[in-house]
Amino acid sequence: MADLVVVRSKIKEHADGCNVSGDFASSLNDKVVALISDAAGRAKANSRKTVQGKDL
């Protein structure tokens, strides 16, 4: 598994009282990494080196 971008200890704080399974952080991390990669692609496509909120 690659380095985690998400903070495991913070996930439960936002889970609205639900339990969080052990594999959730890894799956969430995969989605976050994909979002970042897609946003970086949009920034580059618009001739920018800075990823901005609008790229999400």
Give the global pTM: 0.83
**What is the CB neighbour count within 10 angstroms for residue 25?**
19
pLDDT digit string, tens, across residues 37-52: 999 999 999 999 999 9
pLDDT digit string, tens, across residues 21-34: 989 999 999 999 99
Q: Which residues contact 34 (CB under 8 A, 6 or more apart)?
A: none
- Give the residue extent of every domain in the chain: 9-55
